[in-house]
Amino acid sequence: MTATTDLAVAIWPGLQPRLLHDGVEDYADYRGSGGYQRVDDVDALLNQVDLSGLLGRGGAAFPLAVKLKTVRDNGRQAAGAVVVANGEEGEPTSIKDRWLLRNRPHLVIDGLRLAARMAGANNAYIYVSDHAAADVVQAALTAVEADVLDGLTISMLTVDPGYVAGEETAAVRVINGGPAKPTDKPPRPFEEGVGGLPTMVSNVETLALIPYLHRHGAEAFRAEGTSTSPGTFLATITGAGKPAVLYEIPHGLAFTELLELHGVAADDVQGVLMGGYFAGLLNRDVLDITLDHESLRRLDSGLGCGAITILTDDCPVAVAASVMAYFDRENAGQCGSCFNGTAAMSAVTGALRDGLATTEDLARLERWSVVLRGRGACATLDAATNVAASLLSAFPQVVQRHLENGCERCRLGAFTAVRPYEVEAVVSA
């Protein structure tokens, strides 16, 4: 398997969807359903966002209200603030942001509009790498009447896709006229971002949830999910030899329930690649979790961008080697620790897959998975160390088998995807 190219869209049975939608939504549809409502009390809306407990859907799960308040307060000390909708979905196994941009552009624009009001921003940007999505969003922006945006100026920026291009400082750097590569921190965008102004960079899915809060309030938002992981989220499910499916599901759902709906027998599951590539590998312990931040933290993992790859027939060592090779190719090439570290870890995992690694190689890999963590300008090296550490801890018997006698499965034809489990196609619901 080299890539997953087909995509279906499904809503959890009995769930009233907040994000997924049947077909492509146009301006008249969105206005008719209650979109682009006036904001009569900005502080009241911000308070509802705070009470909702809405966490960012881009990977870090940072509270949106804290971001908004920080940028608003910093902007009052500066000459204003900026808000950026980050739709440069760098994780190859995730499709949610591109789907929203292509199918619900007005929901994203409305969420950006509301975020800008709360942050006190007069300028906003939509940052993408999917050209088809850019065309849809640009057409949607043209359709929006000027008075709806309340003086907000929204600009589009399209960049070449890349794992590091979606990092928040890379987005700011592009808008400021530079390359799509991360910058050292501090300053962080909320301190000094686009044009030197305090800037909130927020994931597309996160912004797309704000209009629901505007219409229905925090209590309704919390009707789904858990107390600490409220609401619904979009989960891109790949692997297990099946087409990809984009689900809208409530936080707190048992992973085994999702497996059942997806048509995968629990007995066939070796583990998963969690949160895109970033959170690394989990073994069959994943069968005991619920899909929320607190449950995954107990396994030293994370929900990340909501992308989950189910491993059934593919060897975890070979999957880890392919992901590590991806990090080696995709790093920005500007931090020595990341440039050299990803190359070194890729070499060891590749040798392990091929039955050529030594115990000394594994000792080095284990040490690198600890000492390289937290280095570099972005989280690419952290993602690589997560993959290395989780492979060694979650699959010690598989690793030992590769070390001693090699892997029969890999000898018959190892998994060597260039972009493992990538979702390439985007279709409407």
Instruction: Quickly list DSSP for 51-96.
Output: HHTPBPSSSS--BHHHHHHHHHHHHHHTT-EEEEEEE----TT--H
pLDDT above 50 for 3: no
Distant-in-sequence contacts of 138-146, Cβ < 8 A, 24+ apart: 139/105, 140/26, 140/27, 140/105, 140/106, 140/109, 141/109, 143/26, 143/27, 144/27, 144/36, 144/106, 144/109
So what's the pLDDT on residue 5? 43
Q: Express each pLDDT in 354-385 by its tens digit.
A: 999 999 999 999 999 999 999 988 889 999 99
So what's the pLDDT on residue 425? 58
- Give the chain's length: 429
Q: How large is the average pLDDT for residues 91-112?
A: 96
pLDDT above 80 for 88: yes
Q: Show the tokens assigned to 306.
A: 């909501």
Q: Residues 157, 175: contact at Cβ < 8 Å? A: yes
- Neighbouring CB atoms inside 10 A of 24's CB total 14
So what's the pLDDT on residue 265? 98
Supply the CATH classification number for the domain 316-413: 1.20.1440.230
| Of 10, 168, 153, 25, the residue nearest 95 (C-alpha) | 10
The strands making up 199-203's β-sheet, listed across from edge to edge, are: 153-158, 121-128, 81-87, 199-203
CA–CA gap between residue 263 and residue 282 (Å, rounded) = 20
Q: If pLDDT is split at 50, 70 and 90, which confidence band does 45 have? A: very high
**Domain residue extents for the chain:** 15-221, 316-413
Q: Residues 99, 426: contact at Cβ < 8 Å? A: yes
Which of residues 406 and 151 earns the better pLDDT score?
Answer: 151
- Neighbouring CB atoms inside 10 A of 220's CB total 16
pLDDT above 60 for 126: yes
Q: How large is the average pLDDT for residues 259-288?
A: 97
Q: How large is the average pLDDT for residues 285-299?
A: 96
CB-based burial label for 339 (10 Å; 0-12, 13-18, 19+): middle
The strands making up 232-239's β-sheet, listed across from edge to edge, are: 7-11, 244-250, 232-239, 307-311, 271-274, 281-282
Q: Express each pLDDT in 178-202 by its tens digit.
A: 999 999 889 999 999 999 999 999 9
Average pLDDT over the chain, rounded to whole?
A: 94
CB-based burial label for 151 (10 Å; 0-12, 13-18, 19+): exposed
In the numeric block, the tokens 């099946």 are attached to 242
CA–CA gap between residue 65 and residue 53 (Å, rounded) = 8
Q: Show the tokens assigned to 19.
A: 């994000």
- Neighbouring CB atoms inside 10 A of 5's CB total 11
Supply the CATH classification number for the domain 15-221: 3.40.50.11540
Tell me the Ramachandran region of residue 38: left when phi exceeds 0, alpha when psi lies from -120 to 50, beta otherwise.
beta
CA–CA gap between residue 169 and residue 193 (Å, rounded) = 8
pLDDT above 50 for 427: no
Q: Show the tokens assigned to 321.
A: 């080697």
**What percent of the chain shows pLDDT beyond 70?**
97
- Neighbouring CB atoms inside 10 A of 405's CB total 10
pLDDT above 70 for 428: no
CA–CA gap between residue 101 and residue 24 (Å, rounded) = 10
Q: How large is the average pLDDT for residues 274-285?
A: 96
Q: pTM value?
A: 0.95
Q: If pLDDT is split at 50, 70 and 90, which confidence band does 2 have? A: very low
Q: 390 to each of 82, 162, 202, 300, how far by Cα in Å?
A: 38, 24, 28, 9
Q: If pLDDT is split at 50, 70 and 90, which confidence band does 6 have? A: low
Which of residues 405 and 9 earns the better pLDDT score?
Answer: 9
